Amino acid sequence: MIYCQVHIVFYMEMNDWNEISKSYHEWIISPFQGADIDPLYERLEGVSGRREKSVADFGCGFFYLGKFLSEHYKSVHGSDFSEEMVKTARLINGRFKNVRIMREDMRTMRHDEAFDVVVIVNSVIMPSLKDIKKSFVNIHRSLKRGGSAFMILPSMESVIYHGMLLLNNELARRTEESARKTAKRRFEKRKYDLFLGYYKDDDQTQKFYYMHEIQYLLKKTGFRDIRFDKVRYSWDAGVSDFQPFPKEDPLWDWLVTAKK
């Protein structure tokens, strides 16, 4: 999820991310704050011989993973296309000697078989499918043969699951017709494009992924051994303004593991 204070932070171009970086936590609910991120750390710790290996985090934002990666891997590359994100990432991570942080765009970057491991945390969220494909190709190209990718991607199924919770909640207190209407309104159904996996508001768009879509895209890119897990978000107030259902299973992002 890439939720913001009011709802969802949309995919933005470089300058928008520069602006967001100035008040990042007011806008972004990152899995590093709102979710149980342990499954990602477990994957990263589980890479054998990691202390002799290189790792990259593309679209690193403030690079919250920098310290952890620096302690567990030999060399660490963090990058982002927003100049302001890169500046802050350098401030936070500057003291780690094996960490290099630079500005680059995943859609155009070129690293040939440079890294043993690649991490992505909610940064491949472009509304253009062509940009998404270019990014996955460049991520795949950047991995050494046999290397691993760990990617957190916003889940469309999670959004639809929340819609189902809304509907069932309304059904308990209204007629079926009224419950459907109310649930759709709360879900903001008109703003979702369930075919494309988009949430749209005015001219801004946020991409969410279906599991089958991730599987298809990664397989076509050349990834193999594609596996899915979840990073689960807390229902706690403050994590998002989504109506909470604390007795139900939580919302999630996909945690995808794949090999080159």
Ligand X SMILES: C[S@@+](CC[C@H](N)C(=O)[O-])C[C@H]1O[C@@H](n2cnc3c(N)ncnc32)[C@H](O)[C@@H]1O
- Site of interaction with ligand X (CB under 6 A): 2, 17, 28, 30, 32, 59-62, 64, 80-82, 85, 105-107, 121-123
* Cβ distance to ligand X smaller for residue 107 or 174: 107
130 sits in which H/E element:
helix 129-142
In the bound complex, what is the minimum distance in angstroms from residue 183's beta carbon to ligand X?
28
Output 170 or 253, the one with its CB closest to ligand X.
253
Residue 128 beta carbon to ligand X: minimum distance, rounded to whole angstroms: 10
Return d(Cα 160, Cα 146) in angstroms, integer. Answer: 35
Q: Hey, what are 104's tokens?
A: 């680059």
Buried b (16+ CB within 10 A) or exposed e, 13-42: eeeebbebbeebeebbbbbbebbebebbee
Measured from the CB atom, is 59 or 250 closer to ligand X?
A: 59
Of the pair 80, 170, the CB lying nearest ligand X is at 80
Least separation in angstroms between residue 169's CB and ligand X is 29
* Cβ at position 121, least distance to ligand X in Å: 4
Nearer Cβ to ligand X, position 62 or 115?
62
Judge whether 40 and 13 are in contact, CB under 8 Å. Answer: no
Tokens at 150, concatenated: 């760990």
- Tokens 């046999």 — which residue? 146
- DSSP for 162-205, written as a single string: HHHHHHHHHHTTS-HHHHHHHHHHHHTGGGEETTTTEEEETTEE
Outline where DSSP puts E strands in the chain.
Answer: 54-58, 75-80, 99-103, 115-121, 143-154, 192-193, 198-201, 204-207, 224-232, 252-259
81 vs 150, which CB is nearer to ligand X?
81
Whole-number minimum distance, CB 214 to ligand X, in Å?
A: 17
State the minimum distance, in angstroms, from the CB of residue 38 to ligand X: 15
Residue nearest to ligand X (CB): 61
